[in-house]
């Protein structure tokens, strides 16, 4: 996967491995930001998990093949 954008496009097309790589690619940066903002490891872990869950659950459904 070259970029997060490429991975996101593939994830939107239904590529579960790409989705996993996107999530893992974002996880460290999101955690670092949350830790700097919240100044508490447990809160930063919780915030990171909540953000990643929202990203995954709000992806539009994969378009179905038609005709």
**pLDDT at 67 (0 to 100):** 57
CA distance linking residue 56 with residue 34, whole number of Å? 18
CA distance linking residue 65 with residue 63, whole number of Å? 7
Taking CA atoms, 27 is separated from 33, 48, 64, in Å, by 10, 7, 29
Q: Which has more pLDDT, 67 or 21?
A: 21
Q: Report pTM.
A: 0.80
Condensed to tens digits (0 to 9), the pLDDT of residues 21-62 reads 999 999 999 999 999 999 999 999 999 999 999 999 998 887
Instruction: Say what the alpha-carbon torsion angle 7, 4, 19, 51 is, to the nearest 10 degrees.
Output: -160
CA distance linking residue 41 with residue 34, whole number of Å? 9
């Amino acid at each position: 996967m070259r970029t997060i954008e490429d991975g996101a496009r593939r994830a939107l097309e239904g590529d579960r491995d790409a989705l996993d790589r996107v999530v893992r690619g974002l996880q460290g940066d999101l955690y670092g930001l949350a830790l700097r903002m919240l100044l508490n490891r447990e809160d930063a872990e919780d915030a990171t998990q909540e953000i990643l869950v929202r990203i995954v659950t709000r992806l539009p459904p994969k378009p179905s093949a038609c005709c």
